[in-house]
Amino acid sequence: MADDTSKFDVSYVAYLARMHLTDAEKENISAQLNDILAYVAKLNELDVSQVEPTAHATPLSNVLRKDEVQPSIDRDKILKNAPEQARDLFIVPKIVE
Amino acid sequence: MQYEAVIGLEVHVQLKTKSKMFCGCATEFGAEPNTHVCPVCLGYPGVLPVMNEDAVRKTILTGLMIGSDVARFSKWDRKNYFYPDMPKNYQISQYDLPLCVRGAVEIKLEDGQTKKIGVTRAHLEEDVAKNLHFETTSGVDFNRAGTPLMEIVSEPDMRTAEDAFAYLTALKEILISGGISDCDMEKGQLRCDSNVSVRPVGQKAFGEKVEIKNMNTISGVRRALAYEIERQKAALQKGEKVSQETRRWDDATGKTSVMRTKEYAHDYRYFPEPDLMPVVVSEDMIAEMRKLLPELPEAKRQRFVKQYGLPEYDAGVLVASATLAAFYERAAERSKNPKAISNWVTTELLGKLAEAKKTIDESPVKPEQLAELVSLIESGQISGKIGKEVFAEMFGSGKGASMVVKEKGMVQVSDAGSLEGFVEEAIARNPKSVADFRAGNEAAINFLKGQVMKLSKGKANPQLVGEILLRKLEGG
Amino acid sequence: MSLHALTIHELREKLRGGDVSAREATQALLDRIQAVDGKLKAYLWLNAEDALAQADAIDRSGIAKNGKLLGGVPIAIKDVINVDGQPCTCASKILKRHTSVYDAFVVQRLREAGAILLGRTNMDEFAMGSSTENSSWGVTRNPWDLERIPGGSSGGSAAAVAADEAFAALGSDTGGSIRQPAALCGCVGLKPTYGRVSRYGLVAFASSLDQIGPFTKDVADSALMLRVLAGHDRCDSTSVPQSVPDYTATLGQGVKGLRIGLPKEYFIDGMDREVDAAVRAAIKKLQDLGAEVVAISLPHTDYAVAVYYLIATAEASANLARFDGVRYGARVVGEDVIDMYGKTRGAGFGPEVKRRIILGTYALSAGYYDAYYLRAQKVRTLIRQDFEKAFENCDVIVTPTSPEVAFRIGEKTDDPLKMYLSDIFTISVNLAGICGVSLPCGFTKSPRLPIGLQVLGKPFDEETVLRVAHMYEQATEWRKQRPSL
């Protein structure tokens, strides 16, 4: 059942989304989202116990491609777009396991 | 109080396809960084995945080989989490409807007993990129990103480190013989994580589960599990609690240690992948694939006898293990004398491996190198006897046959001039044997031959030596 | 008539006949853009030299005369579609300096058809919005009233076509983002059936809802554009391998005996009265032309906005996860990787995008998936079934495109929910995956603002939809109206 929206923990969700929000943004979004969640609660009016979810808009299956090698993209082209690159690698702050 | 361990293994296998799971980039190992990439496997804005048919087929084949139920309807899901080696920060995987469910792997224990280890499921997903670490930064190479990866989850049916070792060995055999993967752990083609818990014997409930990571060889898995089981037992004996955590195995120190704990457990927020259509497997498809199941050992043995001209017994030895058979065939297909290859494998190679306590895939001598050695002997560049010395050197150093022969100056002497010289010297030094031979003692020539070999430090071509000796002795 | 004011079919005639060169057509647009885009801001990026060079190449090779469907015709592209070598910002700071490294499938199709890729148009950031006010680069103005929004998210494309700054433009439609701006700007906007046009190269917002479609000045042009864009693409697993008919061939076949469904849920109180009147008049016109009207019901209409804002945001939250400062786009330096992600995405995304990412992430999160995402997908099935049942009794469905005409800039920005509800007539179409077109059917009195008529059809029945639209259009003069700029 759709839950008590006052439990909506915007900080946790922002963490899941790896997206920094300022305090003002958190407050703002919380309030707006509470309204939206209250609105979408109307879906609970419907009995969907016998209904299958729509996974895809088209009834295709087994869309496969042959295991053949295609040309890769030129490395310079993509390294040019990299915010930071060195030694032909995409550089990020050191990852600590 | 007696305790028993409960072990489950999660194995990730890179499938031996030419191209990646969702794009046409090559899966070749060891290429220059970021050269086998494209907008799709780099997760560029606007790209879409398209399934690799061979990866699907190989996964279904695996299921058939381990007796799984192959799903008639299987689908893809997004597994959402952020990490630099994730091009889209979600991994396309399979959650609730994987390609294969259930199954079992039969293992052989040291005492000869067999045991069935259950498999919970096998599903397909895409591999992540590779992180390299420097002083203050890390670098990401996306060549590996998108490689088809099959995840096989076992039931927690293993009870000892030996069970785990046997399971992995058996699984590798199956996968190699089916052409599914080369399972080379050094190349990251097979990776293994384990879940271990310990409980008092007789207790039904499982103890606290500890996840063990960073086991990089099959023997390493055995060592890590042996350590961890003892660690947990010791803790429980002392009345301490075992915490549910992730621990990292360090092969150098022989210990597991707690990995940096994450603040929150992962919430993967699985949902059906909208960009990919489901896989529907028909009865006909399954029937077709059953025909592709790998040769069982008996059929292989008969083929070896026929194709390579081997005696039944030798063929039997070679097919006892799929990896050994594969090794043999790799060497045999490069040689004009498959029977000689067989002899070398069944006697010299297996002998040295047993001495060094190594398995065939840990063999320092590679199939191509063995084939080269045999061809050097066949062409007369070295004698069979020297060949054994060369082989020993190859085994010890991992160097190729020609290299060893060159370095040790073991090339067989076959030119008539030098040989004549040695023969004449031997004749000159051993008048008694010469006389014996001329008096009718045919065997005396062998002593003279031996002397020639000694003079030439074993390098003389024995057959030619025999011919020249005979000529000189008879000629007078 | 000025060159820039022509339709594609009128231009093609001149190009074929040699009266006009591709360069002249392109230059005419560049001049027009120069004259009016300062006020409109429909274009985000324009490379005049590049466009003229393309035109010259076409003139040299004679493509304009040689039967290629769009030979020599300049087309504008919404900034959410990849064109190799061009910037692709999706109107977001996080892609401020990003350059595309490949062509979208539809762009390849345009090139093959001899089209000239003219420039890139403004939009709501990552296609999230109904007014183009969510663009990080400023809002585009409605050519009919510069104080009003052009609709969204493809506001730039709609405004460009309506103001004769482009002969046609590509847009994308996830919940109405082609049809609604077309209605508000007074041009023709088509959303093809899901799977009709490849999504490869379209920066994804909601993967199971997105479709690329054309903005044009009339229905015949729309049919031509669809013919070029539609078709199976092996790089898009959701692309349907269905043959592409010649949509232009059946346009004139008339509507006699055609059954037009009118869903009672789309003719509600609270709708702008002039919109209501214009749409009813259009329906009457169609009856005069020989069509029959059938009353139908789409009973789950009321739930569509709720369903949409759970499914679309959930898919979007995953689709936008790739914008993390690692491989491309903007990066804000951080102490460690997580910090870098947080700062990069915090600085790079605008407020509406953030709002939707949070909502979508929440709808998928542990404990809430069943209540939100899963439930929404089930109600989506009910909405799809509503249309399937309705189409048993009618051939097309006709509705207003939007309950209201273009509102003032800033009027709804404080109330996201209010903004979402303006999509009420377009949203169900994406959820059901069917096709639909919006075309002009009148104007409000004062101020003079366009009103849009929406014609919906069965999956892969764009032919009938376009035929109905064309017949209505040709029986009226709306398409000849132009804003005074």
Residues of B whose CB is below 8 A from A78: 34, 37, 42
Mean pLDDT in consecutive groups of 10 residues from the start of chain B, 476 residues: 94 98 96 97 98 97 95 97 97 98 90 90 98 96 98 97 94 90 93 96 92 94 96 93 92 90 74 97 90 76 91 89 89 93 94 91 92 91 87 92 86 81 88 87 86 84 85 77
**Sign of CA pseudo-dihedral B196, B198, B199, B202:** positive
Report the C-alpha gap between B216 and B350 in whole angstroms.
Answer: 25
Cα C132 to Cα C80: distance, rounded to the nearest angstrom = 13
How would CATH label the architecture of B416-475?
Orthogonal Bundle (1.10)
Q: Is A65 left (phi over 0), alpha (psi -120 to 50) or beta?
A: beta
Cβ-Cβ contacts under 8 Å between B and C: the total is 93
- List the domains of chain A with CATH numbers: 1-47 (1.10.20)
Task: Tell me the CATH number at C64.
Answer: 3.90.1300.10
Q: What share of chain C has pLDDT > 90, as a percent?
A: 94
| B397 close to B404: Cβ distance less than 8 angstroms | yes
User: For chain B, which residues make up each domain, given as ranges?
Assistant: 3-287, 297-408, 416-475
Sequence-distant (6+) residues with CB within 8 A of B265 are none
Phi-psi region of C85 (alpha: psi -120 to 50; beta: other; left: phi over 0): left
Sign of the dihedral through C-alpha C143, C146, C148, C154:
positive
| Three-state secondary structure readout of B257-316 | EECCCCCCCCCCCCEECCCCCCEECCHHHHHHHHHCCCCCHHHHHHHHHHHHCCCHHHHH
**Among B16, B32, B34, B95, which would you mutate to test the A interface (most chain A Cβ atoms within 10 Å of its Cβ)?**
B34
Q: How far apart are CA B148 and CA A58, in angstroms?
A: 25
**Straight-line distance from the first to the last Cα atom of chain C, in angstroms, rounded to the nearest whole number:** 16
pTM flag (> 0.90): no
Which of the residues B58, B277, B284 would you substitute to probe the A interface, choosing the one with the greatest number of A C-beta atoms within 10 Å? Answer: B277
pLDDT in tens, chain C (485 residues): 799 999 999 999 999 999 999 999 999 999 999 999 999 999 999 999 999 999 999 999 998 888 899 999 999 999 999 999 999 999 999 999 999 999 999 999 999 999 999 999 999 999 999 999 999 999 999 999 999 999 999 999 999 999 999 999 999 999 999 999 999 999 999 999 999 999 999 999 999 999 999 999 999 999 999 999 999 999 999 999 999 999 999 999 999 999 999 999 998 877 899 999 999 999 999 999 999 999 999 999 999 999 999 999 999 999 999 999 999 999 999 999 999 999 999 999 999 999 999 999 999 999 999 999 999 999 999 999 999 999 999 999 999 999 999 999 999 888 888 888 889 999 999 999 999 999 999 999 999 999 999 999 999 999 999 999 999 999 999 999 999 98
Active site residues of C: 78, 153, 177
Amino acid at A54: T
**What is the complex's ipTM, to 2 decimals?**
0.96
Q: Please check whether residue A66 touches B, CB under 8 A.
A: yes
For residue range C311-368, list pLDDT tens digits in order. Answer: 999 999 999 999 999 999 999 999 999 999 999 999 999 999 999 999 999 999 999 9
8 Å CB contact between B373 and B391: yes
Contact between chains at C98 and A81 (C-beta distance less than 8 A)? yes
- Distance from the Cα of C15 to chain B's closest Cα (Å) equals 34
Asked if B50 lies within 8 A of A63 by C-beta distance, the reply is yes
* B427 vs B440: CA distance, rounded Å: 16
Contact C322 B84 (CB under 8 A): no
- Chain C neighbors of A58, CB-CB under 8 A: 194-195, 238, 240, 433
User: Does C423 map to a domain?
Assistant: no
What's the domain count of chain C? 1
Domain enclosing residue C43, as ranges: 3-256
Buried b (16+ CB within 10 A) or exposed e, C408-426: ebebbbeebeebbbbbbbb
Q: Which residue has the tokens 């990003």?
A: C98
In a domain, C28, yes or no: yes
Identify whether C69 is part of a domain.
yes
Q: Do residues B86 and B128 make contact, with C-beta atoms less than 8 angstroms apart? A: yes
Instruction: Find the closest chain C residue to B279 by CA distance.
Output: C237
Q: For residue C232, is it within any domain? A: yes
pLDDT band at A97 (very low <50, low <70, confident <90, very high): low
What is the helix (H) or strand (E) element at residue B175, kind and residue range? helix B161-177
Q: Is residue C445 part of a domain?
A: no
